[in-house]
Homo-oligomer: A and B are copies of this chain.
Amino acid sequence: MEIIECVPNFSEGRRRPVVDALAATVSGVEGVTLLNVQLDADHNRSVLTFVGAPEPVLTAAMAAVRKAAELIDMETHQGSHPRIGATDVVPFVPVAGADIGRCIDLANQLGAMIADELKIPVYLYGAAARTPGRASLADIRRGQYEVLKSEIALPERCPDYGLPRMHPSAGATVVGARLPMVAYNVYLQNASLKLARSIARRVRERNDGLPRVQAIGLEVETGEVQVSMNLLDTDQTSIWRAFCEVATLAREAGAQAVRSEIVGLVTMQAVAGALGEAIACPELSSGLILETHLLGAARGKPE
């Protein structure tokens, strides 16, 4: 049984009814389980997490993108997180019994459907990227919605599906495939936005920081500043190590890492591996967790 996870990010994190409508399109598809709905008012962004077999997951993703194009207007959108479209990014993730190749196929199918039906230009990223310059979301989102409007006609910013013309309200969308990753934010106290940005620069892989880590410094609406990271491969950089690195750099600058948050859902392996590192217990993996075995037993049952 192949199980695919899909984690679309939408440019709406304040109007609850809009996000509820997006969630309803997903949970209305048979064979799909909607696992989580997360709203972030500061980022003005929401994240749905759903799983299922490849076919229904593709159907649900398309339904949500269609609904977002109907309800979200990028011309009036503001938020602290970079974005280029109403549906900003749609990653397909292999969860159980599926591989990344399957997810690349789904990304291409969805990209073609979005461009054909909705006339929204689509960029392929991650493992679905066609050139190395599009592997990273940050590169595709450069300048965000506002700048991309004028640059989309440039050859180097030409979309992978659809015409090089922004949708007038829904903007553009990024679709791709990736391994399970963790969106992870660490909040700082007694820190300026400048310090958060400087710490983000130092922990990023791009600057010889932590392996497979992307990071930006942000100020959220409450005035707190945070280092907002994507941990692309928690076997290489765990949640624990990311926290410690930010906390250490903050401390050296007279600030403190006071709390942290995980956006969306996280795999048991990522949590177990991180705790194992924190308590010097390298054997701690999902295999030591009771529920892993209950899940194995439940799956193995004839239906």
Residue positions of A touching B, CB distance < 8 A: 3, 5, 33, 35-36, 49, 51, 95-96, 180, 239-240, 243, 257-262, 265-268, 271-272, 274-275, 278-284, 286, 288-295, 297-299, 301, 303
Contact = CB atoms under 8 A, between A and B. Distances in A.
A278 B241 CA distance: 11
Contacts of A290: 5, 35, 49, 51, 95, 180, 265-268
Task: Summarize A's interface: helix, strand, loop or mixed.
Answer: mixed
A293 B5 contact: no
Nearest to A95: B290
Contacts of A279: 239-240, 243, 260, 274, 278
A53 to B, nearest CB: 12
Nearest to A36: B293
A260 B240 contact: no
B239 A265 contact: no
Given A291-B292, A298-B298, A275 B271 contact: yes
Nearest to A279: B243
Contact of A281 (B3, B262, B292): B262
B293 A291 contact: no
Given A259-B281, A271-B272, A284-B271, A293 B33 contact: yes
7 contacts: A5-B290, A49-B290, A240-B275, A260-B281, A268-B268, A278-B278, A291-B291
B267 A289 contact: yes
A273 B43 CA distance: 26
Contacts of A36: 293
A295 B293 contact: no
B262 A288 contact: yes
Nearest to A259: B280
B303 A291 contact: no
- Tell me which of A274, A280, A297 has the highest count of chain B C-beta atoms within 10 A of its own C-beta: A280
Contacts of A295: 291, 294-295, 298
Given A262-B283, A286-B291, 5 more contacts: A35-B293, A96-B294, A240-B275, A240-B278, A268-B289
A290 B240 CA distance: 18
A279 to B, nearest CB: 4
B301 A289 contact: no
B239 A257 contact: no
A303 B5 CA distance: 23
A279 B184 CA distance: 11
Contacts of A297: 33, 51
The 10 closest A-B CB pairs, nearest first, are A298-B298, A35-B293, A243-B279, A275-B275, A259-B280, A265-B290, A278-B278, A260-B281, A33-B297, A268-B291
- Tell me which of A95, A240, A288, A297 has the highest count of chain B C-beta atoms within 10 A of its own C-beta: A288
